[in-house]
Amino acid sequence: MTKRYQPNVMMTKLANINFAGLQTAVAVIGPLFEDCCRYIGSHSQPMETLNVRPTLDTLKADWKKLQEARDAYIKKSA
């Protein structure tokens, strides 16, 4: 959440956001967010995923996807 008067929060920069690139990033980030919610005990989970934890390789692969989505967004926005 963004609060008033935080550094680098500028509504005047809203027009500079690359929304097409943002949609591409959300297509990657959304499913990973849904997966992460299943790993958090305080979130409601279906019984088949209860207590299922990701492997280190899965987490590394997810992190790589996030980095690639971020890098692609930054490249398109430049």
Residue 3 phi/psi, 5° resolution? -110, 160
Whole-prediction pTM: 0.65
Are 50 and 6 in contact by the 8 Å Cβ rule? The answer is no
Domain edges within the chain: 19-77
> Which tens digit of pLDDT belongs to each residue from 18-67?
788 888 888 999 999 888 877 776 666 777 777 778 899 999 999 999 99
- The string of DSSP letters for 29-68 reads HHHHHHHHHHH-TTS---GGGTT----HHHHHHHHHHHHH
Task: Rounding to the nearest 10 degrees, give the CA dihedral for residues 35, 37, 40, 46.
Answer: -80
